[in-house]
Amino acid sequence: MNMLTKEFTIGAEIKSLVRDLFPICRSLTGNGVRETLRIISETLPLNLVEIPSGTKVFDWEIPNEWNIEDAYIKNSKGVRIVDFKKNNLHVVGYSTPIDKRMPLAELEKNLHSIAEQPDAIPYVTSYYNKNWGFCLTHNDREKLQEDDYHVVIKSTLEPGSLTYAETFIPGESDQEILLSSYVCHPSMANNELSGPSVLAYIGKWLLEKKRRYSYRIILIPETIGSITYISKNFEQLKKNTIAGFNLSCIGDERHYSNIETRYGETLSDRVVKNLFKYDFKNNTTYSFLERGSDERQFCSPGVDLPIVGLCRSKYNTYPEYHTSLDNLDLVTAAGLSGGYQLVKESITSIEKNYTYKVNNLCEPQLGKRGLYPNISQKGHYGTVNAMMNFLAYADGTNDLISISDRIGVPMHELFPIVQKMYDNGLISTIETC
Amino acid sequence: MNMLTKEFTIGAEIKSLVRDLFPICRSLTGNGVRETLRIISETLPLNLVEIPSGTKVFDWEIPNEWNIEDAYIKNSKGVRIVDFKKNNLHVVGYSTPIDKRMPLAELEKNLHSIAEQPDAIPYVTSYYNKNWGFCLTHNDREKLQEDDYHVVIKSTLEPGSLTYAETFIPGESDQEILLSSYVCHPSMANNELSGPSVLAYIGKWLLEKKRRYSYRIILIPETIGSITYISKNFEQLKKNTIAGFNLSCIGDERHYSNIETRYGETLSDRVVKNLFKYDFKNNTTYSFLERGSDERQFCSPGVDLPIVGLCRSKYNTYPEYHTSLDNLDLVTAAGLSGGYQLVKESITSIEKNYTYKVNNLCEPQLGKRGLYPNISQKGHYGTVNAMMNFLAYADGTNDLISISDRIGVPMHELFPIVQKMYDNGLISTIETC
Amino acid sequence: MNMLTKEFTIGAEIKSLVRDLFPICRSLTGNGVRETLRIISETLPLNLVEIPSGTKVFDWEIPNEWNIEDAYIKNSKGVRIVDFKKNNLHVVGYSTPIDKRMPLAELEKNLHSIAEQPDAIPYVTSYYNKNWGFCLTHNDREKLQEDDYHVVIKSTLEPGSLTYAETFIPGESDQEILLSSYVCHPSMANNELSGPSVLAYIGKWLLEKKRRYSYRIILIPETIGSITYISKNFEQLKKNTIAGFNLSCIGDERHYSNIETRYGETLSDRVVKNLFKYDFKNNTTYSFLERGSDERQFCSPGVDLPIVGLCRSKYNTYPEYHTSLDNLDLVTAAGLSGGYQLVKESITSIEKNYTYKVNNLCEPQLGKRGLYPNISQKGHYGTVNAMMNFLAYADGTNDLISISDRIGVPMHELFPIVQKMYDNGLISTIETC
């Protein structure tokens, strides 16, 4: 199987997982999350953790568990004009139960639509304020006439638990790389089935490879989930985490993006910016001021984990975001494959990132090792430039990312060169981090 | 009284003081300085200090005191063709007495005019070299014909003293902010009645407000005055001064300017550049290489007080500078009000500048405190951005100026946000400086 | 003799030395190097050092000594169609001896020419791989027809020694400036007779002047010579070298260039960039990534001597480079004079570079010392700006190069100002480095 075929295959496999997960109604808590994690665990074994409602996590508290069976608005003729069974975005997330008749004017107070995107059902939640509501396309909303509407939401909002999953994949070192994505969004494909689906396959790949570092993969509800996870694992995370990535909206074909840590200078920042310099060229680096996903918590003052956000088109920047248009057309096998490659290359670059030091003073004689053209003539120097420039900065103060940045040669081009130098006894490594 | 009216009123009040001071003939020393300080002390109480002629101050020596009663050039018909009583700029500052008849050729050696500004009387001094001279418009000079001129200067240059004023306004902290301007220029309005007049009203405002820091306001003759003041108060100034501003040419309407300290990185530099970024937008920052007023002494090597120069149009950059055209038309109520606001905002920003640290790990739950919209929908995040971004950088290493610079929100917009965060127990302060 | 005449004269003298050295066939080793150094020592006394073949120097080994008596290709009519006696570039450097008849097809394998420069004989060497070859113009090569060619190279490649020269010129301080160039190229004028020729005259100038620092001048074969020299003198070089320059291609009229050290921040880097800012304005600064001469060894990790490469047109950037077109037309008296001035000014600037500190607090009174115009009038300040700005940054943290960079005044304009300040007791020096 050649590289291109393999890349296509992995994209198609991830897309298939996205497709399987798409119909499930997820929220911060509830059975939709559990079903989602169960399906993912068929690809990547996961440990499910349940945190009871009411548990304090830093400044927050685990909310009641929300489950929903059915929801609709019937007109006076008994026709379901808005139906949760057709699209779970129709119900505001965490809606309290209701069974009531009301005129249009009263109903309107609890309806949500987007005038500028009249064909899109918006995604709306009300996690921390008891409320109910329905979302619909603006076109459908405009058709509503005065009538006696029957509004039904068969939901429960009761003490239960918040569910998340984690898996720990040990490596040679105790030092860890944290990989995170979230499972709290209902039927939207990029935000957010792309993240957990790509992560499942990254986990599968990690399990099969030799690992220098250990990996901690978590699938959590956004915000409350990361706060909960950090709260429960703070010391461990602070002690061992040397890098990490939060995956979100990583399945469309348009673009590559990263969201920097607070000061943009961690190992994770550096490796992604290096990859963006040479590869994944259609990209944007967003500062922490543009954050919006769980990097908000991972990078908050005092937590300060070196976690960078990775996206294809960043959340909140593409028109389909948080609407029913974020669907299985937007997220493609090619798009998911690109997202997967970005994560994989970031990890590979960190795994192969060492600080090197030359073993000799002055340039080594490459010729006697067969590493240099033996005839010297004008114009013949280009071929060994990368090798010589790598050695010039292998002074024990620069890691490979720095050298790559400085000498203008991508990491993946340096890997075989470095290996050759190492095998020839020309350089030694100093463990980074 | 609304804000606009108040601003206009303060400008008009300052202009009135400028008008009262304008006719007085000031110089480095002498009764003109004393009369000027007496009038200012009706607005802001001042302590007058007299330093005897001959006193050594660092590399300098207090010069003799200069006073002048009258001066003129009469033609052979007995007409005063140049008359000190009409404009005190007609006499070179520190002119020695003379009473002598002479032909035009001899007179010409001691005349000063500006060919490029034929309507302007130039401002000329000869402080440290015994000399006499007259200044006149180039137009008038060109009309002079061969004649027997009678030249009279009734001045005295004798041991006396150098006069300056200071006032100390204590605050909660011993740490001081130094405010300085100078009173050695005769009848010119921007350079320099604008500075001491604005400073009088700043002092008045400071006396009426709650003060975190202490304030030291000085009104001195330029150069020799600041050298004298530093020489007499060196240890005190070095120990307590955390910021300060030297005011000059702060009454026209054209522009805002600051002159950086030697390396441009003190608290005073930072606060002014922050204000220039968001407000007072028609501005120029001049490096220390463009200095010309008492920042030359305050920032000299080893003195190194954190004093920034504040101007509207910087001295030496506007055409009326150091001529009779720098008059009561150039300096306006609106111009003075703008200068006053710049100084007031600079002080306010320093008073409210603390280094903050969040009290919790991870983002706080703003919703339960009524600080966050409870319904989450696409597009609704903008309103709390400043709040969240402030918290993101409240990590104990950034003061409010740094945070404002970084997150793109003016200080005055942050003040109420910070207060709200503080009142809700979300942040603590670490005293700066 | 005025300055211009003197400059022309020095250029003509250097050109004369280049002309004398031009015909000699030099290589890494051999009698051509010895003869070259003997001729140079008539201008600058030199100590010759011989290092036996087989000696280990870091990762390298001194090669056998190569000497050549004659070489040619004769056609079947006995005509020398390629003749070493006409141009020593015709033979590949370090060619092994041969005396053999062969057809064109076999001969072609050992011929070198440049299709894009059909009139140029290329310069080719094969130092570390036993081989033989001839170089010729592409035009001549295209004329070759099928024939029975007689190929003769009367060379020897036998144990002997590598020859280099050094001279040590002591100064008041043990701290040294290293000056290096190389003598391993056959008949080419810019690369590389310009370097050793300019250096000979720099050495002569140094011998005649008062010297703050000591100077170590070395003339070596490139690469193996610098590796050898560093290997033999490592501790001494590391202990005392505060700056230095490697001269190469310093005799054409087109341009000035420097090649930075690895991080571009040493004293040598700073002084050259300062000179390039104000003088020698037609210049390019190349990063260490563009290196190619002995700065490769001097600046290698762990060696890290502060040696900057100085060129007129940098090697490998001008069309005549490493061909017979790099001849006595390319290198001119004016070009050599410019190269000489660049080295001389770099040295002068380092010799006069001190860190200064003012002796007084606040500005000194320049007037009483006759250093300031005594009449103060608008526009009269310009003349003392450089003086005042120098004093403003003479705070004990900036050396003169830094001050020159910062205040926008060339070093050579500052020298007399600094001297005046020093003579007036206004400043003290703190020894740099």
Q: Residue C259: which of C301, C287, C296, C282 has the closest Cα?
A: C287
Any bridge partners for residue A164, and if so which?
Answer: A49
How many Cβ atoms are within 10 Å of C232's Cβ, its own excluded?
15
CB pair distance less than 8 Å for C301 and A395: yes
Instruction: List residues of A whose CB lies inside 8 A of any C CB.
Output: 357-358, 360-365, 367-368, 374-378, 381, 388-389, 391-396, 406-408
From chain C, the residues in CB contact with A377 under 8 A are: 112, 122-124, 322
pLDDT for B371 equals 80
Separation of alpha carbons A379 and B123, rounded Å: 68
Sign of CA dihedral A24, A28, A31, A34: positive
C139 pLDDT more than 80: yes
CB pair distance less than 8 Å for B230 and C374: no
- Rounded to 10 degrees, what is the CA torsion of C317, C320, C321, C323? 160
- In a mutational test of the B interface, the residue from C376, C389, C409 whose CB has the highest number of chain B CBs within 10 Å is C376
Domain extents for chain C? 3-63+161-351, 65-158, 355-430
Query: C39 near C20, Cβ under 8 Å?
Result: yes
pLDDT for C129 equals 85
CB pair distance less than 8 Å for C392 and B288: yes
Separation of alpha carbons C369 and C377, rounded Å: 19
The alpha carbon of residue C343 is apart from the nearest alpha carbon of chain B, in Å, by 31
Q: How far is CA B418 from the centre of its chain?
A: 31
pLDDT for C368 equals 85
Tens of pLDDT, residues C255-303? 999 999 999 999 999 999 999 999 999 999 999 999 999 999 999 999 9
* H-type alpha helices, C61-194: 104-108, 138-143
Task: For residue A158, give Cα distances in angstroms to A155, A226, B27.
Answer: 10, 22, 84
How many Cβ atoms are within 10 Å of A391's Cβ, its own excluded?
24
From chain C, the residues in CB contact with A376 under 8 A are: 124-127
**């348009």: which residue's tokens?**
A254
Q: What is the ipTM of this complex?
A: 0.92
Task: For residue A376, give Cα distances in angstroms to B232, C94, C150.
Answer: 73, 11, 25
Provide the phi-psi class of B215: left if phi over 0, else alpha when psi is between -120 and 50, else beta.
beta
Separation of alpha carbons A152 and C370, rounded Å: 97
Residue of C nearest to B126 (CA): C375
pLDDT band at B133 (very low <50, low <70, confident <90, very high): very high
Of C362, C392, C396, the CB nearest to B262: C392
CB pair distance less than 8 Å for B289 and C361: no
Q: Residue C22: which of C395, C326, C385 has the closest Cα?
A: C326
Separation of alpha carbons C15 and C253, rounded Å: 13
pLDDT band at C151 (very low <50, low <70, confident <90, very high): very high
The CATH superfamily label for domain C3-63+161-351 reads Zn peptidases (3.40.630.10)
* Strand order, beta sheet including A355-358: A395-399, A355-358, A427-430
pLDDT for C369 equals 86
Return the amino acid letter for C255.
Answer: H
Residue of A nearest to C123 (CA): A377
- Element holding B390 (H helix, E strand): helix B385-393
pLDDT for C371 equals 80
Residue of B nearest to A302 (CA): B361
**């993101």: which residue's tokens?**
B392
Of C374, C375, C389, the CB nearest to B289: C389
The CATH code belonging to domain A65-158 is 3.50.30.90
B188 pLDDT more than 70: yes
pLDDT for A382 equals 46
Query: A251 near A329, Cβ under 8 Å?
Result: no
Query: B97 near B153, Cβ under 8 Å?
Result: yes
Q: Residue A248: which of A327, A333, A179, A341 has the closest Cα?
A: A179
Fold of B355-430: Arc Repressor Mutant, subunit A (1.10.10)
* H-type alpha helices, C171-309: 195-208, 224-240, 267-278, 295-298
* H-type alpha helices, B90-223: 104-108, 138-143, 195-208
Separation of alpha carbons A101 and A106, rounded Å: 10
Whether B3-63+161-351 shares its CATH topology with B355-430 is answered no
Query: B127 near B94, Cβ under 8 Å?
Result: yes
- Using alpha carbons only, give the angle B127, B133, B139 rounded to the nearest 5 degrees: 130
Sign of CA dihedral A33, A34, A35, A38: positive
B383 pLDDT more than 60: no
Q: How far is CA A250 from the centre of its chain?
A: 6
Return the amino acid letter for B342.
Answer: L
Q: Is the pTM of this model over 0.95?
A: no
Residues of chain A with pLDDT under 70: 1-5, 7, 373-383, 431-433
Q: Residue B262: which of C402, A149, A184 has the closest Cα?
A: C402
B372 pLDDT more than 80: no
Any bridge partners for residue A124, and if so which?
Answer: B377
The alpha carbon of residue A380 is apart from the nearest alpha carbon of chain C, in Å, by 11
Chain A neighbours (≥3 Cβ pairs under 8 A) are B, C
Give C289: exposed, middle or buried? Use CB within 10 Å, 0-12, 13-18, 19+: middle
Phi, psi (degrees; rounded to nearest 5) at C52: -60, 145
Q: Residue A304: which of B430, B358, B428 has the closest Cα?
A: B358
pLDDT band at B367 (very low <50, low <70, confident <90, very high): confident
Separation of alpha carbons C260 and A106, rounded Å: 75
**In the numeric block, which tokens belong to residue C384?**
């003392």
Sign of CA dihedral B394, B397, B399, B405: negative
B103 pLDDT more than 80: yes
- Element holding A308 (H helix, E strand): strand A307-311
Report, in this order, helix, strand and coil percent for chain C, each rounded to 5.
Answer: 35, 25, 40
The alpha carbon of residue A385 is apart from the nearest alpha carbon of chain C, in Å, by 9
Residue of C nearest to A356 (CA): C301
pLDDT band at B385 (very low <50, low <70, confident <90, very high): confident
**In the numeric block, which tokens belong to residue C334?**
């004016």
**In the numeric block, which tokens belong to residue A141?**
């909303």
B381 pLDDT more than 50: no
Query: B43 near B204, Cβ under 8 Å?
Result: yes
Separation of alpha carbons A378 and C296, rounded Å: 17
Of A231, A289, A303, the CB nearest to B389: A289
Mean pLDDT over each residue of chain C, to the nearest integer: 94
pLDDT band at C411 (very low <50, low <70, confident <90, very high): very high
Cβ contacts below 8 Å, chain A against chain C, sum to 87
CB pair distance less than 8 Å for C363 and B322: no
CB pair distance less than 8 Å for C128 and A365: yes
From chain C, the residues in CB contact with A378 under 8 A are: 114, 122-123, 316, 321-323
Of C125, C230, C303, the CB nearest to A376: C125
Task: For residue A122, give Cα distances in angstroms to A75, A112, A151, A251, B384.
Answer: 21, 7, 19, 20, 21
- Using alpha carbons only, give the angle C199, C202, C208 rounded to the nearest 5 degrees: 145
Separation of alpha carbons C265 and C285, rounded Å: 13
pLDDT for A384 equals 81
The CATH code belonging to domain A3-62+161-351 is 3.40.630.10
Task: For residue B350, give Cα distances in angstroms to A184, B176, B412.
Answer: 45, 11, 12
C382 pLDDT more than 50: no
